[in-house]
Amino acid sequence: MSAIETWWDAGTRWIRFDRPDKLNALTVDELRAVTDLLTGGAEEPEAVVFTGTGERAFSAGMHVDSFVDLDPDGARALITAVRDCVAAARTAPCPTVAEVGGYCLGAAFELALACDVRVVAEHAAFGLPEIRVGVPSVVDAALLQQHVGLGKAKEMILTGEVYPVAALPGLAGELVPAAELRAATRRMLSRLTGHSKAAVAAQKRLFETWQNTSLADGIEASVEEFAAVFADPGTARAVQARRAHLTRSGEE
């Protein structure tokens, strides 16, 4: 039975990892299901939130049974599923939020790193324990050094230890008591949504371009993205709405 639950709320797609007896650990099939949710369907969400059942864990990452009896071909299939799921979250044309209410480990940590924003409970803890399973940390673990610095990222990856969020300043977009986590996520969504979908999608494409090209190439891509959004009627509406707001508030 799948441990993925999903629902819509005010234009946001919520995806919950629901295997609390195993710290919401995930299987390859569930990763593929999440990828399909993010890349398929006619409805375009204003945002996507990933969360986990209970206060013990966001997710412990891959279920340990997933690694049993793997050969190189099976290992490649497994890590490809991780790569595709995490990439779908990173490159989604809308804001993605990780609501982390407990342990966030392995592939789930990579997913949280791939998200645009992390709203985190104060008791949450993060780690990449792959080295202790006999495999390297891969895929979006490459982003960890941008959040915690190269030295701390190497320490985390090479020890495989779990770190409280308080030891990782800058990782959480918002850090709150566990009882306030859902309210904090909703506040964040109110700030992230309601903008022009064309502008948000362009910005998300630029994040990916800036991550993977030189400064000069990134600037050139920015020029093209800026020009292209004016082909969307929503851009003119957004400009007029902003102008009207400034006029009413006396800022213009």
Chain centroid to Cα 116, Å, comes to 5
Structure tokens, 124: 């949450």
**CA torsion, ordered 145, 151, 153, 154, to nearest 10 deg:** 130
pLDDT digit string, tens, across residues 129-176:
999 999 999 999 999 999 999 999 999 999 999 999 999 999 999 999
CATH number of 4-192: 3.90.226.10
Sequence-separated (6 or more) residues with CB below 8 Å from residue 145: 152, 153, 154
Put the strands of the sheet holding 57-59 in their side by side order: 57-59, 103-105, 125-127, 162-164
Instruction: pLDDT tens for the chain, 252 residues: list them.
Output: 679 999 999 999 999 999 999 999 999 999 999 999 999 877 889 999 999 999 999 999 999 889 999 999 999 999 999 999 999 999 999 999 999 999 999 999 999 999 999 999 999 999 999 999 999 999 999 999 999 999 999 999 999 999 999 999 999 999 999 999 999 999 999 999 999 999 999 999 999 999 999 999 999 999 999 999 999 998 999 999 888 888 888 765
Contact 16, 58 (CB under 8 A): no
Which pLDDT score, from 0 to 100, does residue 77 have?
Answer: 96
Structure tokens, 195: 């903008």
Put the strands of the sheet holding 4-9 in their side by side order: 4-9, 12-17, 47-52, 96-100, 117-121, 174-176
Residue ranges of domains in the chain: 4-192, 197-249
Report pTM. 0.95
